[in-house]
Amino acid sequence: MYSKRSRQRIIVNNMVSVIMFVLSMSSIVILAVIIGSIFSQGLSRVTWDFLTGFPSRKPDESGILPALVGSLIVVGGALLMALPIGLATAFYLQEFAHKRVFVETIQTLIYNLAGVPSIVYGIFGSAFFVATLKVIFENLHMTITTGRVLLAGILTMSILILPIIVVTTQEAIKTVPRNLKEASYALGASRVQTTGKITARFAFPNILTGLILSIARILGETAPLLLVGAAGFITFLPTNLFGSFTVLPVQIYSWIMRPQEAFQTTAAAGIIVLLLTQLLLSGIAIILRAVLQKRRY
């Protein structure tokens, strides 16, 4: 009686395994196709000149350096601003705040923010940061006439990733076992000491997750940065906080929008650079996280 049923079960098991394998492979296949076509189109254009050159009217002479530098600065700047605020918020909500109603209200607001489409951040950035900066520049009698500057881009991106950092950090803090914290308190450590020495230390690798997600997010943002001033054609390095800037996705977009066929190739090359930059930055963070997780004795 039993053997027949179990034979059926084995067949079903195998079938399901095969189906799931095919489905997983299909997503990899799709990805491979996309990347394959991009690479085949643009790889030839990824030369040292391309990486260190500036955009030009001529597609073959266009370079991606300003966009690359701009992206790196926006990522770095946004993290610099958002990390302290985000970490502090998360730790406060999880470890220090007492009033449940207060904590839950703030938490709900932040979770909702995490789901807001990026364009909304772009609109906000444009309406608030850009406008405010313009007013500030006028009052300080500076020569800059617009708020559509690098700083606005950095600020907009920082509030975009803030909810991500808060949420992932909170989750990281939650993974710290309660009994470790209890042991620390039982030894007479204060809340600050316990949070710093035990909670933060234990949660740190998982906090890096927030970092990884943020890097990926910022590198890929196009529309909001367009709205706050990212340009498609910059012939200088965007190192001035109060100057124009561009980022990789915007540069790629502007190339795609050109009619010449050669610019499509250039765009493809730009995409490859974007992907590689993404890989490099995230890769560093992921490896760091893995190393730290192993080192947790």
Establish if 190 lies at the interface with other proteins (CB under 8 A).
yes
Contact residue for other proteins among 33, 51, 183, 280 (CB under 8 A): 183
Establish if 202 lies at the interface with other proteins (CB under 8 A).
yes
Count of residues in the chain:
297
Structure tokens at 38: 């991009």
Establish if 189 lies at the interface with other proteins (CB under 8 A).
yes
Cβ-contact 208, 289 below 8 angstroms: yes
Cβ-contact 208, 164 below 8 angstroms: no
For the beta carbon of residue 243, count every other beta carbon within 10 angstroms.
16
- In the complex with other proteins, the residue whose CB is nearer, 112 or 175, is 175
Contact residue for other proteins among 27, 143, 179, 235 (CB under 8 A): 179
Establish if 296 lies at the interface with other proteins (CB under 8 A).
yes
Establish if 185 lies at the interface with other proteins (CB under 8 A).
yes
Work out the widest C-alpha separation in the chain, in whole angstroms. 91
Establish if 188 lies at the interface with other proteins (CB under 8 A).
yes
Q: How far is the CB of 168 from other proteins (least distance, A)?
A: 21
Q: Binders of other proteins: how many residues, by CB under 8 A?
A: 18
Q: How far is the CB of 106 from other proteins (least distance, A)?
A: 18
Establish if 97 lies at the interface with other proteins (CB under 8 A).
no
Cβ-contact 127, 100 below 8 angstroms: no
DSSP string, 144-180: ---S-SHHHHHHHHHHHHHHHHHHHHHHHHHTS-HHH
- In the complex with other proteins, the residue whose CB is nearer, 61 or 182, is 182
Single-letter residue type at 27: S
Which residues sit at the interface with other proteins, rule CB under 8 A?
Answer: 177, 179-180, 182-190, 193, 197-198, 202, 296-297
